[in-house]
Amino acid sequence: MKTKTSLDVLGKLCPIPIIKLAERMKVMEPGDTVTLLADDPLIVVDLPAWCDGHGQELVRLEKTGDHYVGLVRKTA
């Protein structure tokens, strides 16, 4: 069964959101997803880059109100 979790890094500046995401991804299984809530605007460049380098799937990243919501699926 695939699990869906969320990670709230509001108020944290990059690279902390990326470090927290990487820690979370380590304990996830392939197919699991995590929803990241962040308000550092730099997340729009750092999150896609991290996913790309790690071969993880960035399902979507959008701005909602004053923060960003990213959905990442663990591929392997």
Partner 1 sequence: MTTDSHPKRAVGLLSGGLDSTLATMMLLEQGVEVLGLNFSTGFCLTDHRRAVNKEKDPKRLRNEALRCGSDLKVPVEIVDICNKEYLGILTKPKYGYGSAANPCVDCRSFMFTHARHYMDEVGASFVFSGEVLGQRPMSQHLNSLRIVESESGLNGRLLRPLSAQLLDPTIPENEGWVDRKKLGRISGRSRNGQMELAERYGLSDFPQPAGGCCYLTDQSFATRFRDFLKFQSPDYEPQYEDFLLLKVGRHFRTPIGAKAIVGRDASENGFLERFQENHWVFKVDGFAGPLTLSPDAHDEERAALVAGIAARYSDGKEETEVKVHYGWQGQFDKCLSVTPSSPNVTQAWLLQ
Which residues are near partner 1 by CB under 8 A? 13-16, 18-19, 22, 40-42, 44-46, 48-50, 52-55
Nearer to partner 1 among residue 1 and residue 27 (C-beta): 27
Query: Looking at 1, 7, 11, 14, which residue is catalytic?
Result: 14
Sheet holding 33-38, edge to edge: 4-8, 33-38, 67-73, 57-64
Concerning whether 51 is annotated as a catalytic residue, the answer is: no
Please name the amino acid found at residue 23: E
Helices H / strands E in the chain, number of each:
2, 4
**4/41 with CB nearer partner 1:** 41
